Amino acid sequence: MKLAISISGKTLDSPFDARFGRATAFCIVDSVSGEWQAFDNPAISASGGAGVQAAQFVASQGVQAVISGAFGPNAYDTLAAADIEMYIAPRDQTQSAAEILKLLKDGKLTQVEAATNKGHHGENR
């Protein structure tokens, strides 16, 4: 399965980034072959709609699942429309993308069926 993990650097050892829309980068990894590639998140400095833009980006990479720390309503709707599964990893621990991948394989991550937060649009305006 091809999946995307939100990370704060460009390697498999980079710490997990618990934000989805504003994640620094996405590590896109094939869970079977272990092949991976890191991409800058094109939505990191979006003036708005970062969740939608990030979701469109990972969908365009053909992933079947995404692991992040939270999914807002717009990101959730967009990923769900693309039939991408969403998993939540604990946001309070500094873990690498590789460790997060292991947690998924061990069945220790929670799949979400709804947005996990209310979204940030309109904040600080």
Partner 1 sequence: MRIVVASGKGGTGKTTIATSLALIASEQESVRLMDCDVEAPNARLFLDPSLDSHKVVGILIPQVDESLCNYCGKCAQVCQFHAIAVIGKKILVFPELCHGCGSCTLVCPERAITEHLNVLGVLERGQAVHDIEFAQGTMKIGEPMAVPIIRELKKWAPVVLPTIEIRDAPPGASCPVVETIRGADFALLVTEPTPFGLHDLKQVVAIARELGIPAGVVINRDGIGDNAVELYCSENNLPILMRIPMERRIAVAIASGELLVEAAPEFRQAFQDMYESITTEVKI
In the complex, which residues of this chain contact partner 1 (CB under 8 A)?
A: 43, 46-50, 52-53, 55-56, 59, 74, 77-78, 81-82, 121-122, 124-125
Residue closer to partner 1 by CB (options 57, 87) is: 57
Residue closer to partner 1 by CB (options 38, 50) is: 50
Residue closer to partner 1 by CB (options 34, 62) is: 62
Q: Tell me which residue has tokens 């003036």.
A: 47
Shortest spacing between CB 75 and partner 1, in angstroms: 10
Residues 65 and 84 sit within 8 Å (Cβ to Cβ): yes
φ/ψ of 55, rounded to 5, equals: -65, -40
